[in-house]
Structure 1
Amino acid sequence: MELNLERIKKAQETIKDVVRKTPLFYTSTFSKQCGCNLYLKCENKQKTGAFKLRGAYNKVANLTEEEKSRGVIASSAGNHAQGVAYAATAFGVKATIAMPVTAPQAKVQATKGYGADVIQAGQVYDECYAKAVEVQKETGATFLHPFNDIDVMAGQGTIGVEILEELPNTDVIVVPIGGGGLIAGIATAAKAIKPSIRIIGVQPEIVASTKASLEKGKVVTLPGAKSLADGISVSTPGDVCFEYIKKYVDEVVTVSEDDIAYGMFSLMERNKLVAEGAGASAIGSLLAGKVSGIEGKNVVALISGGNVDIATVSKIIERELVLLNRRLRFTVELQDKAGTLGALISEIGIMGGNVVTARQNNNWNEKGLDFADVSFEVTVQSAEHGEQIIKDLKEKGYSIELHK
């Protein structure tokens, strides 16, 4: 069985009544930052919240009746799980999914909600994969691999067809890589339609298994690592995927955890889009300047999914505000008497700062109990605005110690 444009077009026909044709839109803000004409392909707006439904549905649709009758089992960090659960339920097939114990609860609960039984095992994808193989041998269920499968790759490849149908003059597509099924499918489709197009893969630098494999010329396994981009934290790329990656992918770049977090934050703030870590890795690589040769080009960054816990979103926002100096953390020593703290809070408010927290701790030092340290968290409009607030407070005589 070979992955080619004909098979991908067939997959497109198979899934067309179920899978959404997701938005592709131009972002002027990121275009200016990256020096190219940048478009976002929003698979975070797909049913189940990620691209994985495409491949999972195409795979289940192509199973024989005998394979369906045995039920299906899959391993997944979360998004393939939801895709398989949705597809299996649509065809009346029993589904069991092995997921890491570290999988975001949003993904676990959604998978159960789509009708699958969930077994949680291991810290990363490769460990829950081993558990799924064990259960498959015990039960005889049909195993649905999340990436190393031609039907799955064909389903994911429909994204490449959609991009070039809507934006034929695309020069570069930037795609996250985990096991490699997504980029193998997209690259195969895109290169068949437009051979001159560049396909750039993105991986977390702490588990860049495909990049390492390309450098060695063969599939290699790296130590398991848990990235903020949990959906692409894969230690070993698929050997079937790897053959198409070698043939069609032009380059693989890596991103730091900071790059991923900033990508998530930027998508939320500037484009009002919620993306999980894997989904934000492509835009993270572009904002970090990791992709070269794109000046003036038409570039599409794939937002592969948006299934992220709200608690994680909250942490990302708070962290980035601090790193960007838009949430100030500082301590002020005040006389411990009525009205002093209220006066300082009023001063900050007049300057345009928003006091998020103010916590008073009595001093136990040579100054005695007449003084208190007050720890503040204050949100400001910009780093420059924050600097001005601190400057003005110091000029008013306040003793301030800044913290990160």
Structure 2
Amino acid sequence: MALAASPDAPGVTLADIQAAARLLDGVATRTPVEESRGLSALAGTRVVFKCENLQRAGSFKIRGAYVRMARLSAAEQARGVVAASAGNHAQGVALAAQLLGIDAVVYMPTDAALPKIAATRDYGAEVRLVGTSVDEALVAARADAERTGAVLIHPFDHVDIVAGQGTVGLEILEQVPDVKTILVPIGGGGLAAGIATAVRALRPDVRVVGVQAANAASYPDSLAAGHPVTAARLATMADGIAVGTPGLVPFTLLQQAGVEVRTVSEEGISRALLLVAERGKLLVEPSGAAAVAALMADPGEFEGPAVAVLSGGNIDPLVLLRVLRHGLASAGRYLQFRVRIDDRPGSLAALLAQLAASGGNVMHIGHVRTRGDLAIAEVEIDVQLETKGPDHCAQVLDQLSAAGFRIVPG
């Protein structure tokens, strides 16, 4: 059945997004969709991943960056471009600049992930590290543009950027024609605004839900206030969506489309990343797992088929290691506890034998002998144990108590 378009949202139209799709033909990858049986079982409905983590440069950002830069005049392209990003937009701009033959300077926070910095440089852009957030890097980028005449390629607050990102929405509607809900990670809002604009025009029955990290959530307060509001804090592992202030263009589009925005915890993000890696066999960064975290947090809340946009896969291996450990702990796969034993030969061996019999795998053991509440012949043992899940954790502790070991509360 043919899809009838409703009136377009102001600022960015369906025609703009369709034109962007033509411009990106042969440039951006038409990323696959993959059904997740594991997440479908948890969410209580059919769930499909839109795998923008498999996009060129590792995220959806090449879409908007290329559209914006390809539409610059010859004189503007000759002046070069400047951008600010925690990593994904940086790589999108750098790759687009390489493809278009444009000089690019990218400002990134000083704590940006090293692989993202290296990849941006490998695409040929000059990287300058400044500030501790994307917002601070953006101030430096704007100053550079004013000083040098280079064109600022904003990560989300421009109609061409939003139009480019909106091509993800067109692909979802074609690839999952019976979709009922689309969940999208939100930082500045460009991706969600583009998808919402395309979906609102072609399939107004589809529910679009934005997802932010609770520790870096500017949109809920902004939508309540009716205008962009700066987040009180930015303290999340999801650096790709750690944006302090919404962009005016995407905010206006999302507000008009009536898009709801939900927040997810750090524990939820880490557990989602673990599920995508373990069950979906896909590598995503924390921000790329935000939509999955929302589905896991509220099973039965979203009508299916539900599409979770995996917005990016650029993650530092060291961060991946920490996040996976965090996710395993949140999922009850790690057990950490303290036990007091007699400080005499054989006591630790007996504890380890009991742990081995329980089926747990010891990851770390630490001794404490100097606490003031310890008896002179006691030692406290810190134990980190790999387990099979929450039920196994409870079983291990019950078996230790039954064997006479004293578990220290807290």
Structure 1 pair 161/24, CA: closer, same or farther in 2 (3 Å)?
same
CA distance in structure 1 between the partners assigned to 2:300 and 2:66 by the alignment: 32
Change over 3 Å in CA distance of 1:218–1:386 after alignment to 2: closer
Distance in 2 (alpha carbons) for counterparts of 1:166 and 1:364: 61
Deviation at residue 44 of structure 1 after TM alignment:
1.1
The answer to whether structure 1 residue 16 and structure 2 residue 25 are counterparts is: yes
Q: Does 1:401 align with 2:400?
A: no
1:219 aligns with 2:238: no
Q: How far apart in 2 are the matches of 1:323 and 1:194?
A: 37
1:32 equivalent to 2:41? Answer yes
CA separation in 2, counterparts of 1:67 and 1:122? 27
Opposite residue 312 of structure 1, the aligned amino acid is: V
Counterpart residue number, 2:282: 273
Distance (whole Å) between structure 1 residues aligned to residue 38 and residue 109 of structure 2: 36
Q: Report SS of the residue matched to 2:273.
A: helix
Note the 1:120-269 alignment, pairs <5 A: 120-269=129-278
Partner of 1:333: 340
- Which TM-score applies when normalising by structure 1? 0.91
Q: Are the counterparts in 2 of residues 73 and 97 from structure 1 also a CA contact under 8 Å?
A: yes
* 1:312 corresponds to which of 315, 319, 342: 319
Alpha-carbon separation, structure 2, partners of 1:15 and 1:364 = 64
Q: How many residues align?
A: 400
CA distance in 2, matches of 1:89, 1:332: 58
- 1:73 deviates by 0.3
CA–CA separation in structure 1 for the residues paired with 2:235 and 2:364 = 32
Alignment of structure 1 residues 294-373 onto 2, 5 Å? 294-295=302-303, 297-362=304-369, 367-368=375-376, 371-373=378-380
1:60 and 1:172 map into 2 onto residues whose CA distance is 31
Q: Find the counterpart in structure 1 of residue 387 from structure 2.
A: 380
Matched letter for residue 108 of structure 1: I
State the Cα deviation string for residues 65-109 of structure 1 (Å, max 9, x = none): 211111110111211001001111122211100112232222222
Contact 1:126 1:235 in 2 (8 A): yes
Alpha-carbon displacement from aligned partner over 1:332-383 (angstroms, at most 9, x marks no partner): 3334454443343233223211111122344677753x54333221111111
Look up the match of 2:5: none
What secondary structure is seen at the aligned counterpart in 2 of 1:400? strand
Query: Whole-Å Cα distance in 1 between the matches of residues 405 and 335 of structure 2?
Result: 15
Equivalent residue for 1:52? Answer: 61
How far, CA to CA, are the matches of 1:360 and 1:390 in structure 2? 19
SS at structure 2 position matched to 1:128: helix
Mapped to 1, the partners of 2:252 and 2:347 lie a distance apart of 69
Distance 2:151 2:314 in 1: 26
Shift, 1:252, TM fit: 1.8
Query: Quick one: distance in 1 between partners of 2:365 and 2:79?
Result: 60
> Does the Cα contact within 8 Å between 2:267 and 2:327 map onto a contact in 1?
no
Q: Which moved more, 1:298-307 or 1:390-399?
A: 390-399
Change (3 A) 1:290 1:396: closer
Determine what percentage of the aligned residue pairs are the same residue.
39
Point out the more displaced range, 70-79 or 198-207.
Answer: 198-207
5+ residue gaps, structure 2, are 1-9
| Separation in structure 2 between the aligned mates of residue 361 and residue 243 of structure 1, nearest angstrom | 57
1:274-294: CA deviation from partner (whole Å, max 9, x where unpaired): 3222211111112111994x2
Secondary structure of the residue aligned to 1:306 is coil
Q: Secondary structure at the match of 1:271?
A: coil
CA distance in 1, matches of 2:371, 2:68: 67
AA aligned opposite 1:317? L
Counterpart secondary structure, 1:98? strand
Specify the code of the residue in structure 1 equivalent to 2:401. K
- Counterpart of 1:329, as a letter, is Q
Q: Distance in 1 between matches of 2:172 and 2:346?
A: 61
Whichever residue aligns with residue 52 of structure 1, its letter is: K
The counterpart of 2:112, out of the listed 103, 106, 109, is 103
Question: 1:87-98, aligned counterparts within 5 Å?
Answer: 87-98=96-107
Letter in 1 for 2:40: S
Q: Within 1, Cα distance between the matches of 2:305 and 2:202?
A: 16
Match among 283, 294, 297 for residue 288 of structure 1: 297
For 1:250-280, what per-residue CA distance to the aligned partner results, in whole angstroms no more than 9, with x for missing partners? Answer: 3222223333233223322332333222211
C-alpha distance in 1 between matches for 2:380 and 2:245: 52
Structure 1 stretch 46-55 or stretch 208-217: which is displaced more? 208-217
CA distance in 1, matches of 2:247, 2:300: 24
Contact 2:271 2:331 (8 Å CA) reproduced: no
SS class of match (2:209): strand
Residues 1:306 and 1:144: Cα distance change in structure 2 (over 3 Å): same
Letter in 2 for 1:280: A
